[in-house]
Structure 1
Amino acid sequence: MRFDPWADLLISVGDLIDRGPQSADCLGLLRCRWFRAVRGNHEQMALEALESGDMRLWQMNGGDWYVKGDARQRADVDRLLAHCRRLPLIIEVECGKARHVIAHADYPAPVYRWQQPVDPQRVLWSRHRLSEHLAGRHGAIAGADHFWFGHTPLQARYDHDNQHYI
C-alpha cells in the first residue's frame, strides 16, 4: 500500500503531542491538506494549561517539550495549538459502503448517531469500554461499521467487534 498525498487522507486518533521527541513536527501535520485529526486528551491538556497558566498536569504527562522549547519554536507551536481548539472530537468518514467513526478514546454511547451529544471527557479520556472488552464483557456499538480509537498505549492493534484500538 502506498500513500498518495494527492488522493489519500490520513486521519489521526489524536495525541499528536507528548508521545515522543517530535511533538512540534507532529503538530505541523495540521498544515497538510491530506491530514485530519480528532482532538486527543494531550491536546486538551495543552489547551487547558496554556489557558490557565498552570502547566503542572501537562508537564507531568509529557508537556515538558513545550516548556523547554525556544521562544521562536514556542510561538509557532502556540499557533498550531490554537488550531487544536477547532479539532473535532469525532470524525465520520464513508469509505466504500462502510461508515467509519474516529474518536480519541471512546464513543460513550451504545448507538452512534452523527452529532449526537456525548460527554467530551469520556471521548477524550475513557478506557472503560476497552477494559470491558479485555474482560470479555462488551459488545459492538451500533450505528456505524467501524470505530477507531487511540489513547491507550498497546503492544499491537486490538480489534473487538466493530472497534479498533490502534
Structure 2
Amino acid sequence: MNFVKHYEKNTVGRDFAVGDIHGMFRLLQTELENISFDPERDRLFSVGDLVDRGPDSDLVLEWLDKPWFHAVRGNHEDMAIRYPSGNMIASNYAENGGAWNVMNPRELQIQISDAFNCLPIAIEVETDDGIIGIVHADCPCATWQEFVAALEDAKMSNKTRKAIFEAAMWSRERVQIEDQSGIPDVRAVIVGHTPLPRPAALGNVYHIDTGAVFRNGYFTFINLATLETLPPMPKQLEWEAI
C-alpha cells in the first residue's frame, strides 16, 4: 500500500486544495462552480475528513471515483476504517458524526472502509516553485522528507507507524501553540482538521479548514500554484473555535 502519493505538475489547468468536507458535497459542487473549476483541466485535492456530520456523506464513493478529485486520509476516515472490524464503538462513532455509516448495511460499511484504507496519509504535488505537501492534521516529523521516508519505510515497527499515522491524522498541537517554525524542506504544507474562523498560515503550514459543515463555516480553497486562498487569508491567525 502506498501511504504517499505523488502528483506531477498540472500543465493544463489549476490545482486547488480544499478544507474538510464532512459530507457537504453538494455545497462543495456549488462552490467549485463559483470558482469556475474545470474538471477537464483542473484538479482538487482534499485534506481529508470527507464524511460525517454533513448530509451528503453517502456521496463519498461517487466523489472518490472522480478522476480529478484526490484525498488524503483524515481522522474521520480512520474511524470509518476501524468501525466494521470492531475497533470503533458504535456510540462513540455516532457521536462523532458517523451515525449515517452505523446505519449502513455491513457490506457498504466494508466497501467504504476499503475505499478509505486505500487513501494515502500524505500527498505531494509538484508546482513551478517546489513541492506542496498535503496531510490531514500535521507533518509530525522535523522535515517533510523525513515524514515521507517514514511513511514509505516498510521495515518500520507497527508501534512507530501507528504513532506517525495518529499524529498525521489527529494532532492539533501546531495550531494550538501557534507554532510558526514551519517545515523547512518543502514549499508549503496544506492541512485541515482544526476548524478556524479564517484560513491561516503558520510559517509555511497553511490551515484551510474553515468548518463548512458548521453554522458559520464555509469552504476555503487554496491555489497550489500561488498559495492564495479563496476567500483571502487575513494577516493574523484567528483561531477561536467556530
Aligned pairs for 1:115-154 within 5 A: 115-117=148-150, 119-133=164-178, 137-154=179-196
Question: For this pair of structures, how many residues does the alignment match?
Answer: 160
The higher relative CO (CA closer than 8 Å, separation ≥ 6) is in 2
| Contact 2:84–2:113, Cα closer than 8 Å, also in 1 | no
**CA distance in structure 2 between the partners assigned to 1:7 and 1:80 by the alignment:** 28
**1:58-97 equivalent positions in 2, closer than 5 A:** 58-69=93-104, 71=105, 75-76=107-108, 78-97=110-129
* Aligned position for 2:69: 35
Identity level (%): 36
Q: Deviation at 1:132?
A: 1.7
Query: Alpha-carbon deviation of 1:17?
Result: 0.6
2:68 is matched by which residue type in structure 1?
Answer: W
Aligned CA distance change for structure 1 residues 115 and 160 (closer, same or farther; 3 Å): closer
2:91 counterpart of 1:56:
yes
Other structure's SS at 1:19 match: coil
Contact 1:157 1:165 in 2 (8 A): yes
Shift of 1:98: 2.4
Of 85-94 and 152-161, more deviation after overlay is shown by 152-161
Q: Where is the helix percentage greater, Structure 1 or Structure 2? A: 1
Alignment RMSD: 1.9
Residue segments in structure 1 that go unaligned for 5+ positions in a row: none
Tell me the distance in 2 between the aligned counterparts of 1:45 and 1:94.
30
Q: Is the 8 A contact 1:106 1:129 kept in 2?
A: yes
Aligned residue number for residue 108 of structure 1:
140
* Cα contact 1:147–1:163 (8 A) shared by 2: yes
SS, match of residue 201 in structure 2: strand
Question: Match of 2:207?
Answer: 165
Measured in 1, the distance between the counterparts of 2:66 and 2:129 equals 27
Amino acid at match of 2:117: R
Any idea what the Cα deviations from partners look like across 1:39-67, whole Å, max 9, x if unmatched? 00001011111111632321121001122
| TM-score after normalising by structure 1 | 0.87
- Superposition misfits of 4+ residues, deviation over 3 angstroms: 74-78
